[in-house]
Amino acid sequence: MKMKLHVDTKGFAKKPSDEDWYSLKHRLQSESNISEVTIEELAAKIGNGHTISPAVMTETKAADWLQQQLFMVDIDNANDNLPTLEIKEALDMCNRANLPIAFYYFTFSHNKDNPKYRLAFIMDKPVTDPTQRKTIIDTLISLFPQADKACNNADRVFLGTNNKVVLHSKNARISMESIMAVYKSPKAKNRSPTQNFTGRNRSKETDMLVRDFDFFNYLKERNGEYVISGNRADFVKCEVCGAHHNLRYYHDTNTFYCFSDKGEVGGDIIKYISITEELTMIEAERKLKYELCGGDWQTPIPLDNFRLPEFPINALPSPVRGFVQAVAENTETPVDMAAVSALAIVSTAVQGKYEIEGKPGYFEPLNQYILLIAKSGERKSAIVRAMSKTIYQYEKEENKRRQQKIDEENAELYILKKQIEQFKKQNKNEQAKILVGKYQKLERNKTKLLRLIADNATPEALTSLLAECGGTLTVLSTEGGFFDILAGQYSNIVSIDTVLKAHDGDPIRVDRKGRESESIEKPALTMFLSVQENVLDGLLNNEVFQSRGLTARILFSKPTSKIGSRKFDTPEIPPDTEKSYNDLIMTLLNKPNAVTLILKLDTEAYEAYKKFFDKVEGKLTDSLEILEGWGRKLVGSTLRIAGILHCIKNSNSPSKVKVTEQTIKEAIRIGKYFLAHAKYTFSLMGVDKATQGAKHILKRLSAQSKTELTKYEIFRLCRSRMFKKTDDILPSLDTLL
């Protein structure tokens, strides 16, 4: 396993001078100096005197922190009032706390009379939440009274050593669960101010207010300019500490974080009000409830009880993750759109070439059916173009090569045909018969142009295309017309056999009068459609689609729209980032597809996948039962995602490396994302007109300033095809009341 951090390019044989420090830190913590290293590689670097920054940074300040997987504790034994903590005792303390260290080393300043050393802990996955980072480092430091308490800032760097680095347990990993087990113990109860932002139990009503409060807009009004970067917004000013570039907002958790040198702090809107206005938590809660949320009205029950999560971008391996983030920022679109597009494109590149084995005898192909739900004007086409460009480029280059061979074969067929005609004229039937056999064999095995992508094809055409393309194809479209075709737009007959079989890899055999039979032993079809929400009505309410399991095979994504808050000036996509993504796709496309290779799970991955299966299985007759069979496909879909992630990580030889536990866990995170979006999608089935109308009324009312309107005024405000006369709004008004 590799982890990201900064490693200085220069090694020191002794502790650097003060003059070296400034250039060292700026050289070390630059975005261009992010390394991906194994624990062995890192140990070798540290042992050769290379300085490291455990966190991934864009620049040198704490506010430039992005993520972190390695955590270091500096044991300096500087307090003369405490007994000296030897390394053996420290290791025993770690084991007792169930927080095993990965490696340790003695510093430049170490001596036998005054031991100075550093302990290295590795998380099971990168930490991207600064509140979690603070909790982790505070908890680790608090285990050791002899530790340097100042080594808890996000931008901390650690010098290497001229001593040996000891790999204590290179596979040792700690988790947030093991941290919290120590953090919540009686001894750790008051260890960190980040334990509980409120300091007391809050009511469900308050939690709902906090959850639904538009914290981001509140921060914009208070702090002004900001820059969006993926899941977060970085503000130029910071009302919390008064400094610049220290305030950050996180969209997925609706929380803030201040990276002040005087003390980092973060939390929700109540914590923010408490700090900035010097109020108690109770006073801040009252301000939120009675001033910011409109008085003492009871909290309305939402018409939609879904708070859809953002795509877990950190579950995507590099270089896909970097390109997805760059495309999202360049197009000012939700990161979900580029992320799910990337899954479909990688699926296109690997389908038919690999299968993943969940357990002995159980295999899943790597093709996926993905439906992106977005409104008109959401820049769906721009996203699809950016993510699929390499596919079309590969197709074009490959067909240029194939065309030369096709021309040669056509020339040979032409010559054979002329020879056959000549022999027949000369009554040389035996010679003609031999050439006819040769002609037919050449015609049958004639090279065909490569076809990787199709748009809206009829079921019959789709079957023929699959047969011509060797059993693999991708339907890629920014419209939903493909479902209309499947539903019988041209034939009045629902025809989905090919789509169902090509998802599962079941054989397809078609016999038609007047045409050659078509046989596809192991078809693999990828489908990626980006559609508007109105397409869902025809899809979800089609009884044949439901009963035969088409809807259960589709992964749904409904990103939160950014329309209304987009900026004109956006960052360009870095050429290196785009090249890395394109090179990956090209590498996977160039893999041979003559034989389907098997991806196997290692022991830890197998156990993690089995645990996930057991958890899902227990919910199939309970919370997942309403998903119309979709829940029964979730475990298999997640395994397919794991296979796709594995191919990204090991693009040169996917089948020669086993799938790791980390990859399975990342796939499960993505699977849970699709589960949440599937729940939303299936909730739309049978939504009555009154509820739809209530949503429309609520949206229009929110956009105007009056606090009182008559029934007729509401009708005039909301008049549409749904409300043609005043009485049409009554059922929807009753729903709101």
Domains of the chain listed by start with CATH number = 3-188 (no CATH), 204-292 (3.90.580.10), 689-736 (no CATH)
| pLDDT at position 225 over 70 | yes
* d(C-alpha 98, C-alpha 85), whole Å: 19
Question: What mean pLDDT comes out for the span 610-628?
Answer: 79
H-only helix segments in 242-332: 269-276, 281-287, 320-331
pLDDT class of 281 with cuts at 50, 70, 90:
confident
* d(C-alpha 162, C-alpha 46), whole Å: 8
* d(C-alpha 115, C-alpha 502), whole Å: 65
Q: Which range (41-50, 503-512, 713-722) has the least confidence?
A: 713-722
9: left (phi over 0), alpha (psi -120 to 50) or beta: alpha
* d(C-alpha 345, C-alpha 647), whole Å: 12
What is the residue type of 188? Answer: A
- Please, what sign has the CA dihedral across residues 346, 369, 556, 476? positive
Max avg pLDDT among 31-40, 275-284, 693-702: 31-40
Higher pLDDT, 202 or 70: 70
Instruction: State the chain's maximal CA–CA distance in angstroms.
Output: 114
- Residue-wise pLDDT for 143-197, tens only, equals 998 998 888 888 899 999 999 999 998 889 999 888 887 775 433 333 333 333 3
Pairing of strands 453-454, 472-477: parallel
Count the alpha carbons within 13 Å of 33 in the hemisphere toward its beta carbon.
20
β-bridge partners, 257? 248, 266
Tell me the three state secondary structure of residue 124. Answer: strand
Mean of all residue pLDDT scores within the chain: 85
Residue with tokens 């000012």: 332
Count the alpha carbons within 13 Å of 389 in the hemisphere toward its beta carbon.
14
| pLDDT at position 49 over 90 | yes
- Residue-wise pLDDT for 669-690, tens only, equals 999 999 989 888 877 654 456 6
* d(C-alpha 95, C-alpha 91), whole Å: 6
Q: What is the pLDDT of residue 535?
A: 78
CB atoms within 10 A of CB 561: 14
User: Got the DSSP string for 665-710?
Assistant: HHHHHHHHHHHHHHHHHHHTTT--HHHHHHHHHHHHHHTS--S---
Q: What is the pLDDT of residue 532?
A: 80
- Residue-wise pLDDT for 521-575, tens only, equals 899 999 998 888 777 767 877 778 878 888 889 999 999 888 888 888 889 999 9
Q: What is the pLDDT of residue 689?
A: 62
- Residue-wise pLDDT for 466-500, tens only, equals 888 888 999 888 776 777 777 766 556 667 888 89
- Residue-wise pLDDT for 231-279, tens only, equals 889 999 999 988 888 899 988 888 999 988 777 888 899 999 988 888 8
Higher pLDDT, 413 or 626: 413
Q: What is the pLDDT of residue 190?
A: 36
* d(C-alpha 455, C-alpha 465), whole Å: 11
* d(C-alpha 377, C-alpha 359), whole Å: 44
**Tokens in use for 328?**
């999202």
* d(C-alpha 646, C-alpha 644), whole Å: 5
Q: What is the pLDDT of residue 290?
A: 74
Q: What percent of the chain has pLDDT over 90?
A: 40
Q: What is the pLDDT of residue 558?
A: 92
C-beta pairs of 464-468 under 8 Å, 24+ apart in sequence: 464/518, 466/498, 466/502, 466/508, 466/520, 466/523, 466/525, 467/508, 467/518, 467/519, 467/520
Inter-residue contact 383 to 332 (CB < 8 Å): no
* DSSP single-letter state for residue 125: E
Stated pTM of the model? 0.56
User: Got the DSSP string for 507-570?
Assistant: -EEE--TTS--EEESS-EEEEEEEE-TTHHHHHHT-HHHHHTTTGGGEEEE-PPP-TTS--S--
Check whether the bond before 319 is cis (ω within 30° of 0): yes
Order of strands, edge to edge, in the sheet holding 472-477? 453-454, 472-477, 524-531, 369-373, 554-557
C-beta pairs of 290-295 under 8 Å, 24+ apart in sequence: 292/213, 292/218, 293/209, 293/213
- Please, what sign has the CA dihedral across residues 302, 304, 305, 309? negative
